[in-house]
Each structure stands twice: as structure tokens, then as C-alpha cells.
């Protein structure tokens, strides 16, 4: 066994252990902030797996998109609305947990069976390494152009939707804000004190 | 093919002569350049701290540190030692695990990014193909550490500082990446070595700053914002937030933040010099000069001269930019958070998109000057 091979094997084992235990912890931990941080760790470990497969561009993109954008935004949202309140106890929580655990276990067994019975074509195609960046760009702008554009339109729709949802309240004119007598009636009408007009 | 000095070759040869297999020799070699870069990064920070103290003193008509060494040059070491021996305090109601991991998560990506900083043709740890993209990806990890430390301190100022840091860093990453993308488009490669080589075809005139003046300004503004330097130091605005996410930190953990901030500043300055100011390029071609006095480029003497000129040029350009950043810090007021976000989203983002589009069309129109 060469040093290169054994390093790869050790790295793979560590990364897989991190991914499996991390994702279990993401689901099972009570504290939502811990879950969010661990999710970042799981994403990084997945990027490590890509690195092991010699796909450095994909690994960097994984870190940039999932850790740098998705996870930071999740954390951001959690911390902005982080109220320490006791959630109402849900009826039949034990049965629900058992049920979802059973479904997850079934899915795991199914996937295991698939991965064992499939005849994998080993060793797979050799990785193209550094050339991958060019090839990804080529594919994105030729045969995968339509899915790429559709995905960006989907993201744009999500963004506009989020903006519409978030700014629903700020449609009142300045006169409306002035006519209201006091703070309470402002709250009742759901008009923020600092509407867009009053800022200017 | 290269018969000049190859330190790696001679080192591994030397180890193998001691009777060890080549793989072990390679393993022993790997940490050496990393250690060297780590040490130079820390020394760079010490120099920057000293410069910061001296220049701020000059800007405020004081003398600045004077007693520790000549011109106070040992002052940063004294600062570091002080932080090293200070008591490490974790607040009673803080989340001790996240409180400890936070500063590490801030520092490690910054140090890892030094992997791609070239000081010469072969003077970098690793010429990875994704080069500059690696830096962008790694610097996006930092806000998680900031959010972590802000949250775990259990202090409202810390949390606000952490949130501000994350918001700022997300908003300025996009124009930064777009400015880099314009450069990458011109040099047809993400690798920092290729980017510098492409700028060294005609000396001073082929630097990217002439072809990308807008990109240069965008990159510099965004780099300052990413480093949380004034005028963008809102996450630690001391008049508003005590010290932002650093409020509860003391001793070595605080030193990690401090170190990360300055390493990031030096790194950003180095990358500006690599991307826009021709990196290790010297206005006069050294190969030409060597052939003038009749020496081969593989002559050890010429190689050493080339390497030292490369290092000196890179560091000189970077420290000019560091000087600019320090001067900006001590002469400009801080922007408000809404101004900061307005600048990022409503000004820099559209401008950088236009810059990208313009670069693309210029590349199509003049493939000779804009990299075909």
C-alpha cells in the first residue's frame, strides 16, 4: 500500500465519518443554531470528498455556494429571529418520530440494496483534474444551457417573491403615517414607523 | 528541462541519500514551504502593525511607539507577547465550544489563502488551477466564524457585530468576485501565476490596472470592506458596538481575530498587486538584462537575482497598498450601515456588471490587447 493511497483512504474515512455523524447531529440536535453550524461542517466535508475525487473546481464552488452563501444566510435568518421560547408540545410526538425514523430506515435499506446489487463499472473514468473548469463552462453554455437558464429564472422568481413578501407592509403613503394618532394604531395597521417615504 | 536551482529536488535527493524512500522525502518536503509562508505571513503582520502605529501617529501628529527597539520596531512583538500571556476568559453564560471555534474559523481560511499567492514564477506553495477562485471560496467561510463568535458571546453588541460582519461580507463578495472574473476573462486562466505572466509582456504598460481601472477600484473597495477596515469597519464600530463580535474576547482568542484581520489585509494587498499591478513583474525584463551581460537564465546567480527581485517587487507593491489602507483608516470617517449596503448593492454591483460586460466586448473587439 503506497503512502498516497493510504492517505486517500484515511481522508475518505474521516470525511465520511464527519458527514454521517454531522448530518445525524443536524437532524437530531435540539438547538437549531448548532444544527445550522454543523450543516456548514457537513457541506465542507462534502467539498473535501470532491477534492479527493480530484474535482477542485466543484469543491471550491461547493464551499462558495453552500457554506459561503446558503449556510451563512440560514444562520443569518436564525439569528435575526432567535427567540428563546419553549415550543408547544406536539401531540403524539413519539409516534411521529418512530414513523419518520421507520421511513428513513426503509429508505436507507433501499439505497443500500441498490448500491450493493448494482454492477459498478470499476475503476470509473479517470478525472480530468484542472481541465474540469473549461469543460464545466463548455457544457453549461452548450448542451446544458436551457437547464442553466431555467435554474437562474427559478432563483430570480424566488428572490422577487421574497422581496414581495418582505416588503408587503411598506406600501402606505406618508399621509397615512402622519394621520395615525399614536404608536398603537400604527402597530394595529401594521405600518412600520420607518416607511420608505419617511426615510427620504 | 530546468537545470537551475531546484530546492525541492536537492532536498529530496539529500533525504534519499540518508537512506529514506522518496515518498518519505516528499512528505518531509511538503510542510517546509508552508511553514515558510506562515512565518512570512506573521512577519508581514508584525510589519503592518508597526506601520499602522507609526502612520497613525504621523497622521495625528504624535510620535508613536519609540522605546521598544529602534523607532519602536519591536512594539508589535511586545503587543503579541502581551496578548499571549493574558488570561483567557470565557464569559460564564457564553457557549464555550462555539466561542473557541469562532476565532479559529476566522483565521484558518485566511492563512489557507496564502497557498495561491505567488512571489515569483515558481515561488508559491502550489500553482493550483483554480487559483484565485480558491481564495474567493475560502474567504466566504469567514463570516461563519464571525457569526459564531458573535452568537456565542451571549452579548447583544457581539451579536449585532457578527450580523453586520456577515451582511457586509456577503454583499461585497459579489462585486469582488465580478471584478476578479473580468481579470480572469482577460488572462484565460484562474491561476495566479498565469494572471501575472499575462501582465508581464510589456513591463509597466501591460499591467491590468490600465485595462481594468474600474475593476481595480471596485476590487480595492471590496477588499477593504472584506477586511473590515475603515471606512467599512462597521462590525467593530467602537462608538456604537463596543468592539462588535470581539467584545467578549481576551488574550489569545482576541489575538487570533487581530491576526486574521491583519493577515487578511496583507493578503488582499498582495492579491491586488498580483491581479492589477503585475505581481512580481519588474519594469525591465531580467532575462533581457541577463542576456545583455552574457549569462544564461539558468545560471544560479541570475535565478537568485530574479527570485529576489520578484519577492521585493511583490512585497513593495503590496506594502504601498497597505500604506494606502492605513492612511485611509486614519483619515476617513465611517460609513453608516445603510450607506454601506447602498454602496455595495446599488453602486458597486451594477458597475462591476457593466465592467464585466465591457471587458467581454473589448475582448471580442481587440483580442490582441485584451487577451484573445
B182 to each of B53, B186, B219, B308, how far by Cα in Å? Answer: 36, 7, 11, 30
Tell me which DSSP letter residue A127 carries: P
φ/ψ (deg, to 5) at B34: -65, -45
Residue of B nearest to A55 (CA): B130
- A-B CB pairs within 8 A amount to 72
* Rama region for B244: left / alpha / beta (φ>0; ψ in -120 to 50; rest): left
- ipTM (interface pTM): 0.80
Q: At what angle do helices B251-275 and B300-331 cross, to 10 degrees?
A: 110
Between the ranges A14-23, A86-95, A120-129, where is the mean pLDDT highest?
A14-23
Helices (H), chain B: 7-17, 22-29, 31-59, 75-85, 96-112, 131-139, 142-152, 156-187, 192-199, 208-211, 213-226, 238-241, 251-275, 286-292, 300-331, 337-342, 349-365
Domains in chain A: boundaries: 1-83
Whether B211 and B276 have beta carbons less than 8 Å apart is answered as no
Whether B362 and B185 have beta carbons less than 8 Å apart is answered as no
Residue of B nearest to A61 (CA): B137
Residue A120's pLDDT band (cuts 50, 70, 90) = confident
Instruction: Check CB contact under 8 Å for A3 and B144.
Output: no
Instruction: Check CB contact under 8 Å for B137 and A63.
Output: yes
The span from the CA of B272 to the CA of A4, in Å, is 36
Q: What is the CA radius of gyration of chain A?
A: 25
Residue B300 pLDDT more than 80?
Answer: no
Q: Which residue has the cell 481564495?
A: B135
Of A2, A60, A68, the CB nearest to B130: A60
CB-facing half-sphere around the CA of B7: CA atoms within 13 A: 11
CATH assignment, A1-83: 1.20.120.1200
Whether residue A148 lies within 8 A of chain B, CB to CB, comes out as no
Residue B332 pLDDT more than 60?
Answer: yes
Residue A88 pLDDT more than 80?
Answer: no
Q: Quote the minimal CA–CA distance from A75 to chain B in Å.
A: 8
The span from the CA of B252 to the CA of B89, in Å, is 10
Of B27, B144, B151, the CB nearest to A72: B144
Average pLDDT over residues A4-33: 87
* Each residue's pLDDT tens digit, B345-361: 889 899 999 999 988 88
Amino acid at each position: 500500500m503506497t503512502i498516497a493511497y493510504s492517505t486517500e483512504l484515511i481522508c475518505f474515512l474521516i470525511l465520511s465519518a464527519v458527514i454521517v455523524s454531522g448530518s445525524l447531529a443536524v437532524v437530531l440536535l435540539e438547538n437549531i443554531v448548532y444544527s445550522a453550524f454543523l450543516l456548514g461542517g457537513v457541506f465542507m466535508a462534502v467539498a473535501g470528498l470532491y477534492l479527493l475525487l480530484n474535482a477542485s473546481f466543484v469543491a471550491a464552488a461547493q464551499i462558495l455556494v453552500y457554506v459561503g452563501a446558503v449556510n451563512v444566510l440560514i444562520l443569518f435568518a436564525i439569528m435575526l429571529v432567535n427567540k428563546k421560547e419553549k415550543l408547544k408540545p406536539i401531540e403524539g410526538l413519539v409516534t411521529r418520530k418512530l414513523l419518520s425514523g421507520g421511513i428513513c430506515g426503509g429508505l436507507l435499506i433501499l439505497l443500500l440494496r441498490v448500491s450493493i446489487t448494482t454492477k459498478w463499472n470499476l475503476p470509473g473514468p479517470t478525472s480530468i483534474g484542472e481541465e474540469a473548469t473549461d469543460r464545466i463552462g463548455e457544457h453549461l453554455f452548450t448542451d446544458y444551457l436551457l437547464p442553466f437558464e431555467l435554474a437562474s429564472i427559478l432563483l430570480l422568481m424566488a428572490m422577487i417573491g421574497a422581496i414581495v413578501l418582505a416588503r408587503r407592509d411598506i406600501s402606505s403613503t406618508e399621509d397615512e403615517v402622519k394621520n395615525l394618532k399614536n404608536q398603537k394604531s400604527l402597530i394595529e395597521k401594521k405600518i412600520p414607523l420607518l416607511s420608505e417615504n419617511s426615510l427620504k | 528541462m530546468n537545470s537551475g536551482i531546484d530546492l525541492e529536488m536537492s532536498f529530496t535527493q539529500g533525504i534519499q541519500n540518508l537512506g529514506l524512500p522518496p515518498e518519505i522525502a516528499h512528505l518531509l518536503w511538503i510542510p517546509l514551504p508552508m511553514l515558510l509562508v506562515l512565518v512570512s505571513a506573521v512577519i508581514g503582520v508584525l510589519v503592518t502593525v508597526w506601520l499602522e502605529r507609526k502612520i497613525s501617529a504621523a497622521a495625528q501628529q504624535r510620535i508613536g511607539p519609540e522605546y521598544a527597539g529602534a523607532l519602536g520596531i519591536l512594539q508589535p512583538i511586545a503587543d503579541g507577547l502581551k496578548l499571549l500571556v493574558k488570561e483567557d476568559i470565557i464569559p460564564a453564560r457564553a457557549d464555550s465550544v462555539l466561542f473557541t471555534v469562532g476565532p479559529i474559523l476566522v483565521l484558518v481560511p485566511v492563512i489557507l489563502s496564502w497557498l495561491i499567492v505567488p512571489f515569483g514564477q515558481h515561488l508559491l506553495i502550489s500553482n493550483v488551477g483554480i487559483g484565485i477562485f480558491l481564495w474567493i471560496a475560502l474567504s466566504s467561510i469567514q463570516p461563519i466564524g464571525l457569526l459564531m463568535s458573535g452568537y456565542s458571546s451571549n452579548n447583544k453588541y457581539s451579536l449585532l457585530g457578527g450580523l453586520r460582519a456577515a451582511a457586509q461580507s456577503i454583499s461585497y463578495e459579489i462585486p469582488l468576485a465580478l471584478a476578479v472574473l473580468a481579470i480572469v476573462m482577460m488572462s484565460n486562466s484562474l491561476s495566479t501565476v498565469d494572471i501575472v505572466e499575462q501582465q508581464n509582456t510589456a513591463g509597466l504598460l501591460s499591467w491590468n490596472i490600465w485595462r481594468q481601472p474600474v475593476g481595480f477600484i471596485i476590487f480595492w473597495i471590496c477588499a477593504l470592506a472584506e477586511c473590515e477596515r475603515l471606512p467599512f469597519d462597521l462590525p467593530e464600530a467602537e462608538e456604537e458596538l463596543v468592539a462588535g463580535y470581539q467584545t467578549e474576547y481576551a488574550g489569545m482568542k482576541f489575538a487570533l481575530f487581530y491576526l486574521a484581520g491583519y493577515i487578511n489585509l496583507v493578503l488582499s494587498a498582495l492579491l491586488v498587486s498580483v491581479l492589477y499591478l503585475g505581481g512580481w513583474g519588474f519594469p525591465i525584463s531580467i532575462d533581457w538584462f541577463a542576456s545583455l551581460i552574457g549569462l544564461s537564465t539558468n545560471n544560479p546567480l541570475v535565478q537568485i537575482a530574479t527570485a529576489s527581485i520578484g519577492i521585493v517587487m511583490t512585497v513593495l507593491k503590496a506594502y504601498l497598498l497597505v500604506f494606502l489602507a492605513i492612511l485611509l483608516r486614519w483619515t476617513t470617517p465611517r460609513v453608516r450601515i445603510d450607506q454601506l449596503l447602498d454602496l455595495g448593492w446599488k453602486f458597486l454591483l451594477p458597475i462591476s456588471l457593466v465592467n464585466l460586460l465591457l471587458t467581454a466586448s473589448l475582448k471580442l473587439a481587440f483580442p490582441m490587447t485584451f487577451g484573445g
